[in-house]
């Protein structure tokens, strides 16, 4: 079982083709290509955390698309998901739906063997346990925040920043290996005594 992250699929949203400069002519081309890319990496038993803005189409067509996607899906609500929040047939496609979540993954390379990852549709400037090695994953920005995420341990998992494909925990780990947390909310802890 592998853990994957994605966001901002915007299935059935014609204007996203222009707004995010996506490389397709029609919504159908876009979602068909994204389904193929998703299922090429995600297996049926994998966990997928979708960080919001699933679709701007009808609930019926959205559910048809979701049922074609591999994985056990969990949803972090996005700002464009409001029309779907009360549709039970949509909710049934996810194991759960939340506004915010702190995921813990067993990883021997992480502090104390557990990697904490803060998940939210919106990017946070600072987040819980950031000083202690937690990461922040978000969507919402459609690749426009990538330059702000270059150094800190935050990453946009939206499809526009990740070749229109969910990314695995292993990929996130590789990305984060090149970064360190920007201490915006205080001074970093001194882990060792300075030389006299």
Give domain status of residue 182, yes or no. no
Give domain status of residue 44, yes or no. yes
| Encoded tokens for 185 | 């909310």
To the nearest whole number, what is the mean pLDDT of the chain? 92
Residues 143-169 have pLDDT tens digits of 888 888 788 899 999 999 999 999 999
Give domain status of residue 184, yes or no. no
Tell me how many domains the chain contains.
1
Give domain status of residue 188, yes or no. no
Share of the chain above pLDDT 70, in %: 93
Residues 83-127 have pLDDT tens digits of 899 899 999 999 999 999 999 999 999 889 999 999 999 999 889
Q: Are 16 and 60 in contact (CB under 8 A)?
A: no
Handedness of CA 156, 159, 162, 167 (dihedral sign): positive
Give domain status of residue 186, yes or no. no
Give domain status of residue 155, yes or no. yes
Q: Are 33 and 48 in contact (CB under 8 A)?
A: no
Task: Indicate whether 23 pLDDT > 80.
Answer: yes
Q: Are 118 and 134 in contact (CB under 8 A)?
A: yes
- pLDDT at 196 (0 to 100): 41
- pLDDT at 188 (0 to 100): 54
Q: Does the model's pTM come out above 0.85?
A: yes
Give domain status of residue 181, yes or no. no
Cα gap 164→22, rounded to integer Å? 9
Give domain status of residue 69, yes or no. yes
Residues 181-195 have pLDDT tens digits of 877 666 555 444 444
Residues β-bridged to residue 105: 115
Pairing of strands 114-120, 135-138: parallel
CATH number of residue 135's parent domain: 3.60.21.10
Residue 137's domain comprises 3-176
């Amino acid at each position: 079982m592998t853990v994957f992250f994605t966001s901002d699929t915007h299935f059935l949203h014609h204007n996203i083709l222009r707004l995010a400069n996506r490389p397709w002519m029609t919504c159908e081309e876009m979602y068909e290509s994204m389904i193929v890319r998703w299922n090429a990496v995600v297996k049926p038993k994998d966990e997928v955390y979708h960080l919001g803005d699933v679709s701007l189409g009808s609930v019926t067509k959205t559910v048809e698309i979701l049922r074609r996607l591999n994985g056990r899906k969990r949803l972090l609500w996005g700002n464009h998901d409001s029309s779907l929040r009360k549709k039970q047939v949509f909710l049934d496609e996810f194991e759960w739906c939340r506004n915010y979540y702190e995921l813990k993954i067993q990883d021997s390379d992480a502090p104390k063997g557990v990697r904490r990852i803060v998940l939210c549709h919106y990017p946070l400037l600072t987040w819980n346990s950031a000083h202690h090695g937690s990461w922040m994953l978000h969507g919402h920005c459609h690749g426009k925040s990538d330059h702000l995420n270059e150094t800190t341990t935050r990453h946009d998992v939206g499809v526009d920043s990740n070749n229109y494909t969910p990314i695995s925990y292993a990929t996130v780990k590789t990305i984060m290996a090149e970064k360190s947390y920007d201490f915006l909310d205080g001074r970093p802890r001194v882990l060792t005594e300075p030389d006299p």
